[in-house]
Amino acid sequence: MKLDVDFVRAQFPAFAEPSLAGQAFFENAGGSYTCAPVLDRLSRFYRQRKVQPYGPYEASRLGGEEMDEARLRLAAMLGVAVDEVSFGPSTTQNTYVLAQAFARHLSPGDAIVVTNQDHEANSGPWRRLADAGIEVREWQIDPDNGHLDPAKLEQILDARVKLVCFPHCSNIVGEINDVEAIVNVIHSAGAFACVDGVSYAPHGLPDVDKLGADIYLFSSYKTYGPHQGIMVIRRELGMALPNQGHYFNSDTLYKRFTPAGPDHAQVAACAGMADYVDLLYQHHCGAGGDAHARSKSVHDLMRAHEVALAEPLLDYLGAKNSLRLIGPQKASARAPTIAVELPRNAGDVAAALAGHGIMAGGGDFYAVRLLKALGIDPDKGVLRLSFVHYTTPGEIDQLIGALEQVL
Ligand SMILES: Cc1ncc(COP(=O)(O)O)c(C=O)c1O
C-alpha cells in the first residue's frame, strides 16, 4: 500500500493557496502546514463555541466536549491513558514546568543526564537543576557524525541518576534514536526517561506505550495541528512529582503540569489531527481497527513515502564534496530532516534558494550546543532541508535543481 499524495495534499488548504503556488516547502521541521480538519475546528470554535467551556449552556458544553475529545482521541492513538495526555503552550514551556517539578522532587546529590544532541528545549531547563544542587551529566554525541551511542550512556549511569532526557530524533542530526532500547537501559538503572519527540512525531504519531518513556513530548504545530505542546506523562511519575497546577486540581493528572488555563480553541482543534489520521486511514485501508492500530498504519504509510523520497536527496548530498551531510546517509535510519554544513553562511544559501522557489532555512535551529560539538560555528549555521509525507517527488527534483544552481 502506497501513500496517495494527491489525496494527502487535498487535505491541506496551503496547497490550493495561490500565494504559495510553485514554492516547495522544505522547512517543515520548523512547523508544518495545517490540515483542513484542524482549521475547520479552529474556525468553528471561534465562531460558535468561544465561551468559557464546561458550563451548562449549549455552546459551552460543546466547547468542553471538543477539548475532551482531543485528549481522548490523541491518547488512544498514542496508546496511553486519557489523563496521561496534557496540553501546554509549547514543548519548551512544558519542559520548563516539568523541570520545576523535578527541582522539588530530587535532592542535592541526585544526578540527571542530558545530551548535547537535543534542541535547547530539552536541555537548558534541565541543566538549570544544577542550581538546586543536582549533578548534571552530559551524554555526548560523536563529534564526527552527531550519533548518540547508547554504550556511552551506560558508562555514565549509576544509582544516583534519577532522570535521563534525550531526543527521539534531533532536529539537525535526523537520526532516529532507538528509544525503546535506551529506555530499557534507563529503567534498569532505576531512572526515569524524558523523550523529546518533537522532531519525530511529524513523521507519524509514535506508539508511546511501546516506546516506554515516562515523559514523551511533541509540538502539534509540527504535526499538522495548532500551536500547542503535547506531553504524555505516565501516571506513576505524574502522580509522584509535585503538582505544578492549582492545589485543588492536584488529583487530575492532566492538570498537574499545566499551571495556566489552556488555550481552549487550540486544544479543541487538536481533535482535527485525529480526524486527519482517520481520514488517511479510511482512504488507504478502509473502515475498522482501533485508534491505536489506525495510527500505527498511518505512521507506516507516511514513513515509507518519506524514506523513498529521502533516498535520492541523500544520495545527491552525500556525493557532494563541497558540503558535509550531518547524520546518517541511509534514509531508513533517519527522519527527512536533513542538515548540511557548507563553506559559507547557511542563511545566505537559504535566501538564494528562496529565489528558486525553495522555502528552507539556515541557522542553528536552537541546537547551539550540538553545532558546537560538531565543530560548526553556530553563526555560520547549517542549511536544513526538512520535508514530510505531503512532499512530492517533483518537489525533491525542484530542490535538487535549485541546489545545483546555488551551491
Ligand atoms: C527537536 C525540538 N524540540 C523542541 C522544540 C521546541 O518546541 P516548541 O517550539 O513547541 O517549544 C523544537 C522546536 O523547533 C524542536 O525542533
Residue whose CA is at the smallest distance from ligand 1 atom 4: 121
Ligand 1, atom nearest to 93 Cα: 11
Q: Is the pLDDT of residue 276 over 90?
A: yes
Q: Is the pLDDT of residue 128 over 90?
A: yes
Q: What is the mean pLDDT of the chain?
A: 98
Ligand 1 center to 230 CA (angstroms) = 11
- Please state, as a whole number, how many other Cβ atoms lie within 10 Å of the Cβ of residue 279: 19
Q: Is the pLDDT of residue 221 over 90?
A: yes
Q: What lines the ligand 1 site, CB under 6 Å?
A: 90-92, 119, 121-122, 167, 171, 196, 198-199, 219, 229
Q: Counting every residue, how long is the chain?
A: 407
Residue whose CA is at the smallest distance from ligand 1 atom 7: 91
Query: pLDDT at position 288, please?
Result: 84
- Give 330's Cβ-side CA count (13 Å radius): 4
What percentage of the chain has pLDDT greater than the value 70? 100
What mean pLDDT comes out for the span 114-127?
Answer: 98
SS3 47: helix
Ligand 1 center to 405 CA (angstroms) = 31
- Please state, as a whole number, how many other Cβ atoms lie within 10 Å of the Cβ of residue 242: 12
- For residue 359, the surrounding DSSP H or E stretch is strand 358-359
Query: pLDDT at position 260, please?
Result: 82
Residue whose CA is at the smallest distance from ligand 1 atom 14: 30
What mean pLDDT comes out for the span 120-148?
Answer: 98
According to DSSP, the residues that pair with 136 across neighbouring strands are 112
Ligand 1 center to 188 CA (angstroms) = 28
SS3 331: helix
AA letter at 123: S
Name residues whose C-beta falls within 8 Å of residue 105's C-beta, 6 or more positions apart in sequence. 240, 241, 242
Ligand 1, atom nearest to 170 Cα: 1
Phi-psi region of 264 (alpha: psi -120 to 50; beta: other; left: phi over 0): alpha
- Give 110's Cβ-side CA count (13 Å radius): 18
Q: Is the pLDDT of residue 167 over 90?
A: yes
Ligand 1 pocket: which of 194, 366, 371 to mutate (most atoms within 8 A of CB): 366
- Give 394's Cβ-side CA count (13 Å radius): 7
Closest CA to 39 of 230, 270, 262: 270
The CA distance from 270 to 225, in Å, is: 6
Query: pLDDT at position 289, please?
Result: 87
- Please state, as a whole number, how many other Cβ atoms lie within 10 Å of the Cβ of residue 2: 9
Ligand 1 center to 386 CA (angstroms) = 14
The CA distance from 63 to 168, in Å, is: 33
Ligand 1 center to 62 CA (angstroms) = 31
- Please state, as a whole number, how many other Cβ atoms lie within 10 Å of the Cβ of residue 104: 12
pLDDT tens for 323-355 read 999 999 999 999 999 999 999 999 999 999 999
Write down the pTM of the prediction: 0.98
What mean pLDDT comes out for the span 14-31?
Answer: 98
Q: What is the DSSP letter of 116?
A: S
Closest CA to 76 of 260, 220, 205: 205
Phi-psi region of 261 (alpha: psi -120 to 50; beta: other; left: phi over 0): beta
According to DSSP, the residues that pair with 383 across neighbouring strands are 340, 362
Q: Give the sheet arrangement for strand 135-139, strand by strand.
A: 85-88, 229-233, 215-219, 192-196, 161-167, 111-115, 135-139
The CA distance from 340 to 334, in Å, is: 14
- For residue 349, the surrounding DSSP H or E stretch is helix 346-354
What mean pLDDT comes out for the span 316-320?
Answer: 97
Ligand 1 center to 119 CA (angstroms) = 7
Query: pLDDT at position 147, please?
Result: 98
Ligand 1, atom nearest to 227 Cα: 10
- For residue 299, the surrounding DSSP H or E stretch is helix 291-318
Instruction: Tell me the backbone φ, ψ of residue 207, rounded to 5 degrees.
Output: -90, 85
Cα 377 to Cα 27, 341, 371, distances in angstroms: 21, 10, 7
Ligand 1 center to 116 CA (angstroms) = 15
Name residues whose C-beta falls within 8 Å of residue 85's C-beta, 6 or more positions apart in sequence. 71, 74, 75, 78, 230, 231, 232, 254
Ligand 1 center to 243 CA (angstroms) = 24
- List the helix and strand counts (H, then E) for the chain: 15, 13
Ligand 1, atom nearest to 169 Cα: 1
